[in-house]
């Protein structure tokens, strides 16, 4: 069989991953590691655990942790608000996302 090796520069691979990341819809429940039927109390607890673990003060210079921290904050902001959570459940992330 043929073995194929794809070589691309780091810059190209970073561009591809950013493009792929933007196309994949974000699952807020999975991000906080809670079920879709989680209570407000469970969501808050999961958020506090994740936020403490990923906080930039505990991970200085770690851009990946910083970006994930921002996403966790955004997930909590959406899922803790009853109206936004309902909109997210009905219409997906695009209906409630903010930048």
Q: Which CATH number characterizes residue 65's domain?
A: 1.10.287.110
- pLDDT of res. 71: 93
**With pLDDT > 70 as the criterion, what percentage of the chain qualifies?**
71
Provide mean pLDDT across the span 34-53.
Answer: 96
Number of domains in the chain: 1
User: 61 in a domain, yes or no?
Assistant: yes
Mean pLDDT, rounded, of the chain: 81
> Token pair of 65, please?
């942790």
User: 12 in a domain, yes or no?
Assistant: no
| Tens-digit pLDDT profile for residues 58-93 | 999 999 999 999 999 999 999 999 999 999 888 888
- Tell me if 72 sits within 8 A of 31, measured CB to CB: yes
> Domain range holding 82?
26-95
- pLDDT of res. 22: 54
Closest Cα to residue 29, out of 96, 88, 95? 88
Spell out a b/e string for 36-65, using b for 16 or more CB atoms within 10 Å of the CB, else e: eebeeeebbebbeebeeebeeeeeeeeeeb
């Amino acid at each position: 069989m043929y073995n194929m090796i794809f070589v691309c520069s780091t810059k190209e691979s970073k561009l591809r991953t950013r493009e792929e990341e933007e196309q994949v819809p974000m699952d807020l429940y999975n991000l906080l590691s809670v079920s879709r039927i989680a209570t407000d109390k469970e969501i808050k607890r999961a958020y506090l655990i994740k936020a403490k673990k990923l906080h930039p003060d505990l991970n200085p210079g770690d851009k990946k942790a910083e970006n994930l921290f921002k996403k966790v904050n955004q997930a909590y902001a959406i899922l803790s608000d009853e109206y936004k959570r309902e909109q997210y459940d009905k219409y997906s992330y695009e209906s409630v996302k903010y930048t």
